[in-house]
Amino acid sequence: MEKRGQVWIETVTYTLVALILIGLVLAFAKPKIEEMQDQAVIDQSIKIINEIDSVIKEIGERGMGNKRKLEISLKKGEFEIDSKNDTLIFFLEGTYMYSQPGQEYQEGDLNITTIEKGKIYEITIEKEFPNYNITYSGKEESKKILKASTPYILLITNNGGTTNNIDFELG
């Protein structure tokens, strides 16, 4: 009878030790995994903004009426087409510190700002288009594109004119 009780006590003890070890591993690994995911999202967003910049330059050179379709995926963060300031903006809250907090960082034509809020960092990536008049659906308004499980289809059109009007639409 005593041996049966001892086996159960050992089984419960080993199970508890295993659960504690799994918990400890997750406590240390999960924040690092989230940080790496945030870094990948930022790198992907920089790539998307540079790709949009390339498309704008291409359709700008090819003349009025030129149109391109671009597929963009947002798994985290938000993307804004700011027509009033002719700027594209990506915003992310995460655990990854991309640049020195409180200081603006230039990466090519991109302005990147990191703001520290406790253990969370707010990262803003901006690309200005001073030589183009950016619009959304033909209007000087802003459009925010939020994270989604399916990719967005972004239509970019050169509407020409003296201000080099580049229009964005979601397809």
Of the candidates 146, 150, 145, the residue with the CA atom closest to the CA atom of residue 168: 145
pLDDT attached to residue 66: 87
Q: Please provide the DSSP assignment of 97-140 as one string.
A: --S-TTSEEEETTEEEEEEEETTEEEEEEEEE-TTSEEEETTBS
Domain ranges of the chain: 2-170
DSSP 46: H
pLDDT attached to residue 2: 59
What tokens appear for 150 in the block? 């399916």
Q: What is the pLDDT along the chain (171 residues), one digit of tens a residue?
A: 556 677 888 888 999 999 999 998 888 888 888 889 999 999 999 999 999 999 998 888 888 888 999 999 888 999 999 999 999 999 999 988 888 888 888 988 999 999 999 889 999 999 999 989 999 998 888 999 998 889 999 999 998 877 789 999 988
Cα separation, 118 vs 137, in Å, equals: 38
Kindly report the pTM of this predicted structure.
0.79
pLDDT attached to residue 113: 94
**Total Cβ atoms within 10 A of residue 79:** 23
